[in-house]
Amino acid sequence: MEWLQRMKDALDYIEGHLEDHIQMGDIAKSAYSSPYHFQRMFYMVTGMTVHEYIRKRRLTLAAQELALARVKVVDVAIKYGYDSPESFSKAFRKAHGISPSAVRQGGVNLKAFPRITFHLSLKGDQEMDYKVVEKQPFTMVGKALKVSMTAEGEHNKEIPKFWSKSHQDGTIDLLISIAADGNVYGVCAEFEEEEDQFTYLIAVTADANSISTEQGLVVKEIPAATWAVFPCIGAMPDAIQKLSMRIFSEWFPSTGYEHAPIPNMEVYPPGDSSSADYRTEVWIPIVKK
pLDDT > 90? residue 109: no
Whether residue 149 is found in the same domain as residue 272: yes
Q: What's the 3-state SS for the chain?
A: CHHHHHHHHHHHHHHHCCCCCCCHHHHHHHCCCCHHHHHHHHHHHHCCCHHHHHHHHHHHHHHHHHHHCCCCHHHHHHHCCCCCHHHHHHHHHHHHCCCHHHHCCCCCCCCCCCCCCCCCCCCCCCCCCCEEEEECCEEEEEEEEEEECCCCCHHHHHHHHHHHHHHHCCHHHHHHHHCCCCCEEEEEEEEEHHHCEEEEEEEEECCHHHCCHHHCCEEEEECCEEEEEEEEECCCCHHHHHHHHHHHHHHHHHCCEEECCCCEEEEECCCCCCCCCCEEEEEEEEEEC
CATH number for 25: 1.10.10.60
- The confidence band for 235, taking pLDDT boundaries of 50, 70 and 90, is very high
Residue 195 pLDDT: 73
Q: What is the mean pLDDT of the chain?
A: 90
Residue 104 pLDDT: 78
pLDDT > 80? residue 173: yes
Does residue 67 belong to any structural domain of this protein?
yes
pLDDT (tens digit per residue) in 223-233: 999 999 999 99
Whether residue 171 is found in the same domain as residue 212: yes
User: By residue range, what is the domain housing residue 191?
Assistant: 131-288
Whether residue 151 is found in the same domain as residue 96: no
Whether residue 267 is found in the same domain as residue 179: yes
Residue 47 pLDDT: 84
CATH number for 260: 3.20.80.10
Residue percentage of the chain with pLDDT more than 70: 95
* Domains held by the chain: number: 2
Residue 117 pLDDT: 82
Whether residue 87 is found in the same domain as residue 170: no
